[in-house]
Amino acid sequence: SKTHNLQYSSNIVEKDDEVIVIDYKSSAKVDETHLRQVSLYKKALESIYTKNVSAYLIYLREEDIEIIS
């Protein structure tokens, strides 16, 4: 049988001319898995919307915040 991989995104913001996906993580370092996950979110939204899609991965840590687009 086929296994389905269900993913959840933190936030999707739809503006007049753009869709933005924002995923939050609390890891100490940037993880390649997280980057792939956000890329999949973006591709999924691009298949649904005709608007420009932007994706951001935000690491929330005690000492800092790192934003990756």
Three-class secondary structure of residue 69 per DSSP? coil
Per-residue model confidence (pLDDT) at position 44: 94
Residue 60's identity, in one-letter code, is L
Digit-by-digit pLDDT tens for the chain (69 residues) are 455 555 555 799 999 999 999 999 888 889 999 999 999 999 999 999 999 999 999 998 888 889 998
The gap from C-alpha 45 to its chain's centroid, in whole angstroms, comes to 10
Per-residue model confidence (pLDDT) at position 63: 86
Distances in Å between the Cα of 35 and the Cα atoms of 1, 18, 23, 26 are 28, 20, 10, 14
